[in-house]
């Protein structure tokens, strides 16, 4: 049995019980491990769906160029699909993203333009503005706009939600997801809520992002916006894919807690995941007193740890930010002392 091309291997990712790292949590915690997608992240699902829907509606034409502002994972999914389907890709990203992510996009033949992080979205130098300008200037181009393109959440309504429902045999009581564009939480959550209206949906946010305050007060507060390190989640605007009515609660996690938890997941569970998985699990542990023994929590692990080798998995990087206070004893330090 074989697949006709790599895109057919997207989805049907495993659900794996967490054991040691969740030992103080009364509930069963199951992680949806999206690293096994061919582009090593959940974003393969929505990238393909956005392309297929644009092909159907005629927005994306044969030989066209896909232009998108992306933090890397969506770009990877788009670039992979573009290879198979014969499109060109130009991505704009920010100087905060891991070098590994940018290099991976280039590996698929995409052109990548790195833009400054600390400018307003409306600033002509921002990665949003640069991609919008290119869309106007490059002939036969199409901008998926993952933030407002509802094909993003629909991919998760059609795939991620049903997979989790089947894998837990309908026993899921809580869904915990880091929120960026909102596609994952909104699509997956909508499907699961239709199956069982009692399922709790918790979004994980970062300090420096507007989501939590907006959910709790209805106010878009610019004072909430400042730069942060955690990758993939939190925003400084309100994407159309975030369904605020569906989400019961947003929990904020610090950069430090997210970074250290990312490492812990690998060291304690043997699952090599990226920074937003650490943020999501740290957020869940902050909420653990609300969970009971019979609860079945599903937490989404969005991407692979290999994209963070120069960051969360690098001791010097952590130390420079004050995240790693205690130096561990190493064989070398013992021999030298």
- The pattern of x and - marking residues 49 through 68 that bind ligand PMP according to CB under 6 A reads --------------------
Q: Which stretch binds ligand PMP (CB under 6 A): 194-202, 228-236, 263-271, 319-327?
A: 228-236
Listed residue (44, 12, 9, 41) closest to 306, CA to CA: 41
Nearer to ligand PMP, 73 or 92 (CB): 73
| Contact (Cβ atoms closer than 8 angstroms) between residue 147 and residue 241 | yes
Q: Which stretch binds ligand PMP (CB under 6 A): 137-145, 163-171, 225-233, 322-330?
A: 225-233
**Is residue 183 within the footprint of ligand PMP (CB under 6 A)?**
yes
The partner residues of 273 in beta bridges, in order of sequence, read 304
| Contact (Cβ atoms closer than 8 angstroms) between residue 165 and residue 172 | yes
- Find the binder of ligand PMP among 302, 305, 311, 324 (CB under 6 A): 302
Q: Which stretch binds ligand PMP (CB under 6 A): 85-93, 106-114, 174-182, 321-329?
A: 174-182
> How wide is the angle at C-alpha 217 spanned by C-alphas 211 and 222, nearest 5°?
55
| Contact (Cβ atoms closer than 8 angstroms) between residue 63 and residue 86 | yes
Between strands 15-17 and 249-253, the pairing is unpaired
Between strands 200-206 and 249-253, the pairing is parallel
| Contact (Cβ atoms closer than 8 angstroms) between residue 111 and residue 90 | yes
Between strands 200-206 and 15-17, the pairing is unpaired
**Is residue 234 within the footprint of ligand PMP (CB under 6 A)?**
no
- The pattern of x and - marking residues 274 through 293 that bind ligand PMP according to CB under 6 A reads x-x-----------------
43 has catalytic annotation: yes
- Find the binder of ligand PMP among 65, 126, 184, 206 (CB under 6 A): 184
CB of 304 to ligand PMP, least distance (A): 9
- Sequence-separated (6 or more) residues with CB below 8 Å from residue 320: none
CB of 141 to ligand PMP, least distance (A): 22
Q: Which residues are catalytic?
A: 43
Query: Which residues sit at the interface with ligand PMP, rule CB under 6 A?
Result: 43, 71, 73, 178-185, 231-233, 274, 276, 302-303
């Amino acid at each position: 049995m074989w697949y006709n091309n790599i895109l057919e291997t997207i989805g049907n990712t495993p659900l794996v019980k967490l054991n040691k790292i969740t030992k103080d949590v009364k509930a069963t915690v199951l992680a949806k491990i999206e690293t096994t997608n061919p582009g090593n992240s959940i974003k393969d699902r929505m990238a393909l769906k956005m392309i297929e829907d644009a092909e159907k509606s005629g927005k994306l034409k044969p030989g066209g160029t896909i232009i998108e502002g992306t933090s890397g994972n969506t770009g990877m999914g788009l670039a992979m699909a573009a290879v198979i389907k014969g499109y060109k890709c130009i991505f704009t990203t920010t100087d905060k993203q891991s070098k590994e992510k940018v290099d991976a996009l280039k590996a698929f033949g995409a052109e990548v333009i790195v833009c400054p992080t600390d400018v307003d979205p409306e600033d002509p130098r921002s990665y949003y503005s640069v991609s919008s300008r290119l869309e106007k200037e490059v002939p036969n181009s199409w901008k998926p706009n993952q933030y407002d393109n509802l094909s993003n959440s629909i991919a998760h309504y059609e795939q991620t939600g049903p997979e989790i429902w089947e894998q837990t045999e309908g026993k899921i009581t809580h869904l915990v997801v880091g929120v960026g564009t909102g596609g994952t939480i909104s699509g997956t959550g909508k499907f699961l809520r239709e199956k069982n209206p009692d399922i709790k949906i918790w979004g994980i946010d970062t300090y420096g992002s507007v989501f939590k305050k907006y959910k709790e007060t209805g106010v878009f507060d610019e004072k909430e916006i400042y730069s942060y390190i955690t990758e993939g989640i939190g925003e400084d605007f309100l994407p159309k894919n975030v369904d605020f009515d569906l989400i019961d609660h947003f929990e904020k996690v610090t950069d430090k807690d997210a970074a250290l938890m990312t490492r812990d997941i690998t060291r304690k569970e043997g699952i090599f995941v990226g920074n937003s998985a650490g943020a999501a699990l740290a957020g869940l542990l902050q909420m653990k007193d609300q969970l009971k023994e019979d609860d079945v929590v599903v937490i989404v692990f969005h991407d692979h740890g290999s994209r963070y080798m120069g960051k969360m998995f690098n001791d010097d990087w952590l130390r420079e930010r004050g995240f790693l206070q205690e130096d561990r004893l190493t064989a070398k330090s013992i021999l030298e002392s």
